[in-house]
Structure 1
Amino acid sequence: MQLTLEHVGKTVGPEVHLYPLSLSPVPGAVTVLLGATQAGKTSLMRIMAGLDGATSGRVSVDGRDVTRASVRERNVAMVYQQFVNYPSMTVAQNIASPLKLRGEKDIERRVRELAERLHIDPFLERLPAELSGGQQQRVALARALAKRAPLMLLDEPLVNLDYKLREELRDELTALFASGDSTVVYATTEPGEALLLGGHTAVMDAGELLQYGPTAEVFHAPQSIRVARAFSDPPMNLLPAEAVEGGVRLAGGDIWPVVLPVGAPRQLVLGLRAGALRPQAREGDVTVPGQVELAEIAGSDTFVHLRSPVGELVAQLTGVHNLNLGAPLTLHLDPRQVFLFDAAGPLLRPAARSANGGRG
């Protein structure tokens, strides 16, 4: 199914919820809507579903104009942040409801297949209120999958689950979406979730569509500082700099041997992802001395806030590092892993891709 949005915008009174945008999710694949809260993701999904009308523009499905078509006239499945299930129905009855509406045969077998795929088959005779939050969301997902809709919309479906459940369900969803049975649009605030789901990503901010393309391309070549901010967790380090002979001069007078593109302006902003900073030195590295302001261990990584001559930096170090506040710490980076932005925002040169994949 080919969903196409052409110059679609949404205003409510004096407030702009969506500036006019055009987007065509890839049929049978996953498109991630990535952006902070109030970026416009939910407004866009509601227009896709037919729950809300667009103020301007056109929505079409396989070339047919559905701009004014209601949600009942569209074959769409939607999963929300909250666990939306029929409270008086058992798990089995919840999953079976769209199958019965379509008059399908062998409903019991289909319900059990979906329940097994989502690991909720032991709970088929229970009511949703008797399940945990993660199990309730699995029921909602199973019901959406049972609908076999050509368009599936998921609005931050894992946001209310704890970390372990999010990880578990995210992996399962990635496998479920790989079948290509539906065009999937998935909204999230988490860059890591977009990278794990793959497919294509549309980066949104304050009601604007900033960039759309294959997820890896958008991550490695953000077109602007706004995109880089939205697609970096921890936030990308952004350092004002000046183009000089031999590279760039940063605050404190340090000169880094960063290769400048032809015609680069004098005033620049350097972008540096937290994972590009390392405690180990390699040939050709730039050295960044500093003091530890904060160190947090999260899983198998250590996040360090460093005060350095070039500015405040956040580093994501692999492994567990026991660092004392105020202690000196020297980090290193490959200058090729620096993003170069015009001071006005546009990307001038992406960073070289690191050997450790998405972290650079």
Structure 2
Amino acid sequence: MLKHMEQKNESTPLVTVITATYNLIENKRAKFIIQCLGSVHNQHYSNIEHIVIDGASNDGTLSLLKEYESQGWIKLFSEPDAGIYDAMNKGILKANGKYISILNSDDFFHDPEGIAISVKLLEENDADYSYADARVLKKSGRKFQWKGDLSKLLVGEHYCHQTMLVKTEVLRDMGGFDLSYRVSADSDLMIRLYALGYKHQYVPHCFVTYRYGGYSFHYDAQSRKDHSTSFFHHIGCHIGLSEDDCFQLWQLKFITEQTYKEQLALVHKVPEEFGRDYVYAELKKRNPLGGKQPEKKRYYLFGFIPVFQVSFQKNTYTYSLFGIFEILNVTCFNGKWNYKLLGVIPILKVKYCK
């Protein structure tokens, strides 16, 4: 008997959860999909259908999934596809719910009230989509909370897409995921939702666990290009940002890739709506001495005896006595600082984390 029955009660509109799968057993991810399926089945919200779109797995994954289909937990479809976003688009077309949630096979709902709370706020505020905080789980076992924040859309730190519930009609009107973005079509979708003016609703409740190191993580350079290209075309070109500006601002890469003068000029181009204060604060925190400054700074005793010198080259600050004897070497890369005494003895390492 199905645990989640499609009800006519308007107070509990049907929610469709979509999960894409392919050869999970071969990739040693069987335990993840089992946890994912269980977390949907155990939601306290009474009206859910869980659609699993499989890409014609041939490693035993289908047999595993059919066990859950036979119990009524999922609706299973399996056929070759053009990748994860093509699979998600197929799920969008098959969805019967008023709202759609995309939950990746590695991820899960750690709180059984998540869907219920999200639907309640969507219905009360007549919103088109919702987003929330996510718990990020690293391979080391370390966890931290990713705060959902639309003002960070420009820099690509806005929110985890697995926390979203979106009206099905909205996703279909938008054409679903744009398959031209092979790595970050999810980012493009979130950018388009905002750019098209759909009404959003923040859900102040963390209910999704996202396993760090997923698909886009392995293609970092392409993810950067996808996100910045989409943001420029849909938003950036209308607010005075160039495509290169958007590229530099992604994950705040400009802090280690531009001169200090360029950094400050770029920060001033960022509208308040897209986190100017946050970007500037991060610049001061991660790189307080500025960017790639080609000049050397000299400090003089009595105004003419050079006793101390600071030079900068390739993200490295060198501190020298009389411009000759190196006493400290400081290297900065992506917010990580390494301090070496006499240029060779590591004495301190500092990393800025979320």
TM-score of the pair, normalised by structure 2? 0.28
Which structure has more helix as a fraction of its residues? Answer: 2
TM-score of the pair, normalised by structure 1? 0.28
Which structure has more strand as a fraction of its residues? Answer: 1
Name the structure, 1 or 2, with higher relative contact order (CA <8 Å, separation 6+).
1
